[in-house]
Every structure is written in structure tokens, then in C-alpha cells.
Amino acid sequence: MFAPYFIAANISGTSQVGRLPSTDIDIGTGDILENLRFGGMIHAEALYNQKFGGMLDVAYMNLGGATDTPRSGGRIRVGVGQLIVEGMLFYRAYSTSQTSIDVYAGGRYWDIDLDLDATGTIAGNFDITRGDNWIDPVVGIRAFHMLNDKWSVNGRGDIGGFGAGSDFTWNVQAGAGYHFNKTWSAHLQYKALSVDYDNDKSGRSSFEYDTITHGPLVGIVARF
């Protein structure tokens, strides 16, 4: 199964970088689309012998914005990059012609980059880049059910982190699909992904990221 998708994301929470105080984050879908430099999201799966499988999910957003500083005639540019890569193995615990239930486990990789570039400001010229990357172990369950030959419903939930990467992370998503034929279908879901990360460092190396990324998700699925 191969599925490119798009999520109309909203990001809310707090972040703390270096010696700066903790800052509230409230980025809406409109803000993301207005400042989007590049983005891409794709999901792929393979199932062996109707029992064992693997899935890979990659979601990347690169946002950028700039503002002028009238007093000095300078310019400040801000960039944010968020890459999330999931690799999971799953076992089909229950299966009929209409319904399947999978349990899965694996890892969720995060790479967060924050960049601040200033030229001609009162504080001078500077370029500051901060961020971190980590891997969270994850366990979860998902279910899929065909209502009839055209419509299906599905849901998924998992938890992870457990202090190995982040302190805690969770993900829930659910929705419905319309099947044009045995190969092609379109899906609409609502997805919420939360992470609470602290690198336990101090001073300039300190980084905390406690956010929820959520919003409606639409995707086109091809099954082979």
C-alpha cells in the first residue's frame, strides 16, 4: 500500500531554546500554508502472508518567514523544520473479509530545527540554529472495517517515549475511506500527535519541545 497525504496541521504547545524563556506556540493551518517553503507526507505498508507487516511514514514541513526592522533598516528571518519518520512492524491479530485488527511496535524519529538569521539590526548580524533529534519507542493498536463495498472506517492509537527519547508521546487518528475500486481509495481522518521532549541540558544547549500537532488529514491510497 502506497499513500501520499496532506494534513492541515495546527501546532500548539510550548518550546524553550537555550537561555531564552519558554515560549508559547500557536501555529494555525493558515500560518503554515502562508510560510511553507517545502513539505511532503507519505505512508507505505507491506503485508506478508496476511499476518506480518511493516509500515513507514514520513512527514516533513519547512516553514520560513521574514520581517523588516524599520529603525535599523535590517531584516530578520525565522525558519522552522519538523521531520517525523515512523517505522513500525505489525501483527494482524484478527482478520475477516471485512475487518482487521493489528498490534504494532517500532520507533518514531523526530528532528526539530529552529533558525534565526538577522542582518543589519541594532543587535548586529547573527545566525542562530538550535534544535534536536531523538527516537521514541512506540506501541499501538489499529483497526479497519469495511461497512460495504464502497465505504470503510478506521482508527489507530499509540503511546511511546517512556523517557527513552521524549518523556512521553501519543498519537490518535480516525476517519473514513471511500473505495473507487480494489486498487484506489480516498481517505479522510483527523489526527493528533503529541510529544513532550526535554534534552535535560542547561544553558545554550537547553531544548524543550512540548507540542500537539493536529488537524484533518486527506490521502489517496493505492493497494497492490
pLDDT number for residue 75 = 65
pLDDT of residue 157: 98
Q: Show the cell assigned to 37.
A: 517553503
Which among 21, 150, 160 is positioned nearest to 84, based on CA atoms? 160
Cell digits of residue 49: 502472508
Give this prediction's pTM. Answer: 0.86
pLDDT of residue 126: 60
Average pLDDT over residues 3-23: 85
Please give the pLDDT value at position 96. Answer: 96
Q: Check whether 82 has a pLDDT greater than 70.
A: yes
What class is the 2-201+209-222 domain? mainly beta
Q: What is the pLDDT of residues 101-145, one digit of tens each?
A: 999 999 999 998 877 676 765 656 666 677 899 999 999 999 999
Q: For 32, phi and psi rounded to 5 degrees? A: -65, -45
Q: How far apart are CA 50 and CA 95, in angstroms?
A: 8
Q: Where are the chain's structural domains?
A: 2-201+209-222
Average pLDDT of the residues of the chain:
89
What mean pLDDT do residues 132-161 have? Answer: 97
Per-residue model confidence (pLDDT) at position 26: 82
The pLDDT tens digits for 31-77 are 778 778 888 999 999 999 999 999 999 999 887 765 655 555 666 66
Residue carrying C-alpha cell 473507487: 180
- pLDDT in the model for residue 87: 98
CA dihedral 160, 102, 214, 33 (to 10 degrees): 120
Distinct helix (H) and strand (E) counts, the chain: 1, 12
Output the pLDDT for position 89. 98
At residue 71, the pLDDT reads: 59
